Structures are given as structure tokens and as C-alpha cells.
Structure 1
Amino acid sequence: MSWSFLPEYLPYFNDGMVFTLIISLFVVLFGTIIGVLVALGKMSKIAPLRWILNAYIEIFRDTPMLVQIMVGYAIMGGANWPTVHVGILAEDLGRLIPGIIIISLNSGAYMAEIVRAGIEAVPAGQREAAYSLGIRPSQAMWNVILPQAVRNILPAVGNEFITIIKDSSLLYTIGVMEVFNGALTVGTMTYQTLSPMLFASLYYFVVCFALSRLLARFEKKLGRGYAK
């Protein structure tokens, strides 16, 4: 095993991580929005809407993400999108955008349950107090309940971000150039397999470990603020 490839091929990992972080940020943003909307929809009194949203959640939670990516790309891929560049890597948006959409839908299915739990964790007295002041249920949800629920779900959103950083590696199957695909490319060009994969694993570990430590400090600070 040799690390002699690093000086020349390190940009494949660095630029791949840039794409990985961009993908993860978009996925967490869209997934959280989807999760909030789905959670609110599941609390609706419209039974058909609840059935549809429950089916969506079950489909995306009970099937492999890899299969979802492949099916999603088969449906949405092939469009003539432009190519974006980060350093030495070129990314076909016709592959990147379907990948982000599918992982966002998957993330949204999990975030919906997280948001629902966050809403239910808000004391019932808050809702009752809002109603007693003449605030309509919809206004109470958006202006009283959800702002407090956000505090409950923020740590889970941070954990989801770390999870997506790792899960985004599955997008290599449709040709998205992230860290793992960068490692595969380096392995092909250097005729090495183990060393680039180990370095990619180390790269993932360092980034995810650093983010998890920052998240732990944020949760601790958030807990102190809540206690006050």
C-alpha cells in the first residue's frame, strides 16, 4: 500500500468533498422542508391526504436508497443540463439534480417523523393557551407550535446532515463526482484500489467526526439555553 498518489491526486478528494458538502446541504434543506410539510399533512383531518403521505413515508423508508437512486435516475435522468466545475472535477447537472431530488425525498420521509415528534414534544398547554387567546389553529401551529418544535428538531437535522454526507456516496452509481467517485477515479488512474479507498474513508471520518463534535457542542449550548 502506497500513498505516493496523494500529492498529484489530492484535488480529486478535496473537490469531491466540496460536491459532497453541496449535495448534503441541499438535501438537508429540501428534506427538512419536505419533512415539515409532510408532518403537517399527516396531522390533517383529510384522510386521503394522510393515506398518501403515509404511503410516501413507508415507500422511502422501506426500500433501499440505492434502488431509489437508480429508479429516480431512470425516470429523471437524460436531460440536457449544463456542466458545472469545481476545481478539476466536472459535474453533469443531469445526474446531480436527480440525485439530489431522490435523496431529498428519502430524507424528507425520515424528517417527517422527526418533525412530528418535535411538534408532539411541545407541551399541550402552549396550544391551549394560543386557542384561549383567540388564535386560529393554523396560526397557532405556524406562530406558536412550530417555532418551539424547531428547537427540538435542530439536533436531529444536524445528525441528518452527517448521515447524508456518508449516504451521498451512493450517487457514484449514476456518475455523480463526489468523494467516493473521486477515489474510484484515482484508483483507475493509478492502478491502485485499496489506498484511495482508505484515504477516502479517512477523509469521511475526519469531516464527519469534526461535524459531530461541533453538533455535540451546539446541543449542549442549546440545552443550557433551554434550561434558562
Structure 2
Amino acid sequence: MFDSNFAIQSFPKILAVAPMTIYLSIIAAIIGLILAVLIAVVRERKVPVLSPIIGIIVSFIRGTPIIVQMYVVYYGLPQLLIALQKWGISTNSSGVPAIMVAITAYSLNAASNISESIRSAYHSVDYKQYEAAISVGMTPVKAMTRIIVPQLIANLIPNFSNIFIDLIKDTALVYNIGIVEIMAKANIISSVGFKYIETYLDALIIYIIICWIFAKLFQISEVIIRRRVFATQRIN
């Protein structure tokens, strides 16, 4: 039978580890965004050798579950550090922190997905606007930063929002490598009192609240940026 008192008592305990979930998601998104920009530039420029290799890696990451990627990093990163030691590069291969494994895996996953969204957002902007800006005397840099990039960012936000929220939900898997976040805490508490539905319902509510807050923040950001883009276009 559902124990409402247990659910109420467990809620703040599970909520207390929510910052870890948010921290992992934000760090992975930031690193992923930086890598994604580089990946998108390389692929759009069609850099010889590098572009097809990155294309294969992106396809692999986008086509495999995040938990598989996390385990590959978890078991592969120490082996890579050992190999670097053999090549004369000083590294510490013993006890790679689980948080480092999670950030690496989730950042690479985010980078692959965000890079495709950046490319899609870039192609959605009418390039004739850039040519028109140049024709009326704008410098290439000014035309890019004032005309193209703001529209690209506005077009990117909806997809980036979805990717970020997916990251938040996917962090539920990091308990498999020993990181205590929302799902891990729910598992720990439920195993002690054998009150599974209560703790998992708490976790569900916390995830919904976190995802809703960030979704609203991204929606507000998109509206603000689109208004600025519209205002800039009217001025120009």
C-alpha cells in the first residue's frame, strides 16, 4: 500500500542530490557545445580526412545508447592513460574519478547531437541575407555577427533545449558507475525501506520540475533573441 508519509520524508533527501544531476547536465552541455561548434565547422568546411572521420564518430555516438558510451569511457579511459604512459607521457591511470567518466561520456554525446543541430540551424538561415548585408557596405564579420549568428542561435535553441533536457534525464544512468544523483538516491532509500513506488514517484516529480524549469528558461531565451533579431533587421 502506498505510504504517503514515507514519500514526503524521502522527497527532501532525494531533492538534496538534484544539484549533482544539474551540475552534470550543465557541464556536459557547455563542453558539448564548444566541441559541437568545432565539429560543425569542420564538417561544413569539409576538411579533408578530418571531416569524414568525425562524421563516422558522430554517427556511432548518435546510433548507440548513452549507457554503452559511458561504459566504453569507464573501461577505456584507464586503458588509454596506460597506453600514454607507455609512450612516455606522464599520466595517472589509477582511479579515474567516476565524475570525470560521466562528464566525458555525456559531453561527447551532447557534442554529437548539438553539432547536427548547429548545422541544421545554419542551413535554415537564408544566406542571401548575408550577401545583401555585404552589398550595402557591412563587413563580413559584422554581417555574420549581426545577421546570421543571432538567427542561427534562435533557430538552435529549441533543439538545444531538447538535447539538454535529454541530458538531465540520461543522468539517471550514472548511478551505474557510482555517482549518487536523483535516481541513485531513490534506489538507496527504496532498498532500505522497500518502498519503491514512493521513492520513484518522488524522483519522477523532481525530474519533471527540473525539466520544466529549464524548458521555460530556454523558451524565454528564444523569445528574447528572436525579438532582438527582428529589431536588428528592422534597423538594418
Assess, with a 3 A threshold, how the Cα gap between structure 1 residues 146 and 48 changes in structure 2: closer, same or farther. farther
Give per-residue Cα distances to partners, 1:13-63, cap 9 Å, x unaligned: 122211000011101111111111100010124231111111111000111
CA contact (8 A) 2:28 2:106 kept: yes
Question: What does 1:122-141 align with in structure 2 at a 5 Å threshold?
Answer: 122-128=125-131
Aligned length: 214
Question: Hey, what's the Cα distance between the residues in 1 that align with 2:149 and 2:194?
Answer: 53
Assess, with a 3 A threshold, how the Cα gap between structure 1 residues 213 and 46 changes in structure 2: closer, same or farther. closer
- Structure 1 runs not aligned, ≥5 long: 82-93
Assess, with a 3 A threshold, how the Cα gap between structure 1 residues 141 and 115 changes in structure 2: closer, same or farther. farther
CA contact (8 A) 2:130 2:144 kept: no
CA contact (8 A) 2:11 2:202 kept: no
- 1:207 aligned partner, one-letter code: I
Shift of 1:209: 2.2
What corresponds to 1:16 in structure 2? 17
Shift of 1:141: 9.5
Question: What does 1:1-228 align with in structure 2 at a 5 Å threshold?
Answer: 1-6=2-7, 8-76=9-77, 79-80=94-95, 94-128=97-131, 143=145, 145-228=148-231
Assess, with a 3 A threshold, how the Cα gap between structure 1 residues 128 and 226 changes in structure 2: closer, same or farther. closer
Using the TM superposition, name which of 142-151 and 177-186 deviates more.
142-151
Shift of 1:149: 1.9
CA contact (8 A) 1:32 1:157 kept: no
Shift of 1:194: 1.7
Question: Hey, what's the Cα distance between the residues in 2 that align with 1:16 and 1:68?
Answer: 24
Question: Hey, what's the Cα distance between the residues in 1 that align with 2:98 and 2:6?
Answer: 28
Q: Which has the larger radius of gyration?
A: 2
Shift of 1:204: 0.8
TM-score, length-scaled by structure 2? 0.79
RMSD (Å) for aligned C-alpha atoms: 2.7
Assess, with a 3 A threshold, how the Cα gap between structure 1 residues 134 and 2 changes in structure 2: closer, same or farther. closer
Give per-residue Cα distances to partners, 1:85-111, cap 9 Å, x unaligned: xxxxxxxxx111111110110111110
User: Percent identity at matched positions?
Assistant: 26
Question: Hey, what's the Cα distance between the residues in 2 that align with 1:153 and 1:182?
Answer: 34
SS of the residue 1:213 aligns to = helix
Question: Hey, what's the Cα distance between the residues in 2 that align with 1:224 and 1:142?
Answer: 18
